[in-house]
């Protein structure tokens, strides 16, 4: 992408607001760029678009591999566009540096939405760090909202830390699970349940219906022993089938009810503001870590410190003291 001046940024922002898909793609490419000369331009573009963002439903969706995230998102997205919504799907994949995630791959997984003129699918860039991926996803979300997309679905393709990162950037965090909660419940991290706004047991069709209902009962019982993420919302557990397109209307009703409940209590905007502040701190930590790794003296010392810590001849605390001592802090 060539260097843009102030007039170019204003023109690009206007085109994004007008719903120009080519401009939308250019804008996201700009914020994804890791070239230093593009960073200020990207931030100026975001400042120009901030007032037009923030009105969409932001929904995060996670689940174990094979749970049917893509099928569910494809069916849910088409249901929503059919009802007059504009839907953007953004993927957070901290493993994409290894797998080389591609737009083609995402569009193949969501064949219906890929050809829907009221839908937009964008994978995460191969940013190398989760902080880098989530920063670009947050900024892409702002651009999509300014372009008129009123439903933003953020899918966690990776697992682990990405779940918490996505929950921290959306209004509603949905966890998809498979029927047969016995083994699944054993392997489910308590932390995922603690940040979920709802659990949906997917593939509740055919011979799976009875097992799905049993799983729903077990997850409901699990929720009863946890402190809810919000005092204004009790996470429901439902059964759905993305493949058969059943239960998705109920799913969306819960998303809307959640927003209404938090808005009425004054907690919705407070959550959004808190997310912005946490985003600032997350980006600060990411930038500081990048600076540490670029410091020549620290880079030269790290292999020696790591070897000593690994051998047990130096404690981790003393190793950290040596590193920060170089920085003078």
Confidence of residue 98 (pLDDT cuts 50, 70, 90): very low
Over range 279-306, report the average pLDDT: 87
Q: How far apart are CA 268 and CA 171, in angstroms?
A: 8
199 CA to centre of own chain: 17
Q: What is the pTM of this model?
A: 0.85
Cα–Cα distances in angstroms (integers) from residue 36 to residues 40, 42, 134, in the given order: 8, 10, 18
* Mean pLDDT value across the chain: 86
Residue 284, pLDDT above cutoff 90: no
pLDDT for position 99: 46
| Residues whose CB is less than 8 angstroms from the CB of residue 16 and which lie 6 or more positions away in sequence, other chains included | 23, 24, 27, 49, 143, 146, 147
CA dihedral of 134, 138, 144, 145, whole degrees rounded to 10: 150
Element (H, E) at 306: helix 296-311
Cα Rg, the chain, nearest whole Å: 22
| Burial track 133-169 (b if 16+ CB lie within 10 A, e otherwise) | bbbbbbbbbbbbbbbbbebbbbbbbbbeebbbbbbbb
The rounded percent of the chain whose pLDDT value lies above 90 is 59
Query: Domains (ranges, CATH) in the chain?
Result: 1-52 (1.20.5.170), 53-263 (3.40.50.300), 279-327 (no CATH)
Q: Which residue shows structure tokens 């995630």?
A: 101
pLDDT for position 275: 92
Q: Which residue shows structure tokens 């569009």?
A: 107
Q: How far apart are CA 68 and CA 70, in angstroms?
A: 6
Choice among 64-68, 125-129, 233-237, 272-276 with the minimum mean pLDDT: 125-129
**Residue 294's closest CA among 249, 251, 326?**
326
Residue 117, pLDDT above cutoff 80: yes
Q: What is the pLDDT of residues 226-277, one digit of tens each?
A: 777 789 999 999 999 999 999 999 999 999 999 999 999 999 999 999 999 9
For the four alpha carbons of 271, 134, 121 and 200, in that order, the dihedral sign comes to negative
Q: What is the largest CA-CA distance in the chain?
A: 65
Residue 127, pLDDT above cutoff 70: no
Q: Which residue shows structure tokens 């799983």?
A: 215
| Burial track 184-193 (b if 16+ CB lie within 10 A, e otherwise) | beeebeeebb
Q: How far apart are CA 114 and CA 62, in angstroms?
A: 20
């Amino acid at each position: 992408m060539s260097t843009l001046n102030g007039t170019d940024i204003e023109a690009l922002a206007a085109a994004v607001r007008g719903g120009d898909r080519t401009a939308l793609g250019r804008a996201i490419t700009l914020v994804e760029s890791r070239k230093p000369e593009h960073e200020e331009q990207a931030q100026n573009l975001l400042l120009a678009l901030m007032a037009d963002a923030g009105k969409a439903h932001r929904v995060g969706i996670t689940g174990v591999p094979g749970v049917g995230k893509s099928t569910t998102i494809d069916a849910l997205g088409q249901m929503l566009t059919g009802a007059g919504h504009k839907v953007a799907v953004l993927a957070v994949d901290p493993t994409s540096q290894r797998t080389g995630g591609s737009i083609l791959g995402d569009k193949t997984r969501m064949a219906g939405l890929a050809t829907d003129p009221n839908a937009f699918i964008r994978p995460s860039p191969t940013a190398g760090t989760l902080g880098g991926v989530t920063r670009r996803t947050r900024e892409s979300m702002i651009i999509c909202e300014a372009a008129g997309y009123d439903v933003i679905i953020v899918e966690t393709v990776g697992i682990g830390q990405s779940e918490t990162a996505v929950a921290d950037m959306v209004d509603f965090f949905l966890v998809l699970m498979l029927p047969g909660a016995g083994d699944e419940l054993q392997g489910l991290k308590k932390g995922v349940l603690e940040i979920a706004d709802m659990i949906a047991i997917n593939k509740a069709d055919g011979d799976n219906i009875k097992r799905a209902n049993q799983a729903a009962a077990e997850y409901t019982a699990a929720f009863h022993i946890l402190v809810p993420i919000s005092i204004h919302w009790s996470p429901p557990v439902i059964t759905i089938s993305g493949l058969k397109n059943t239960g998705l209307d109920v799913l969306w009703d819960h998303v809307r009810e959640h927003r209404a409940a938090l808005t009425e209590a004054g907690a919705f905007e407070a959550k959004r503001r808190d997310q912005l502040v946490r985003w600032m701190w997350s980006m600060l930590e990411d930038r500081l870590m990048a600076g540490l790794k670029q410091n020549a003296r620290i880079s030269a010392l790290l292999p020696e410190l790591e070897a000593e810590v690994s051998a047990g001849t130096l404690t981790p605390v003393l190793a950290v003291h040596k590193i920060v001592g170089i920085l003078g802090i």
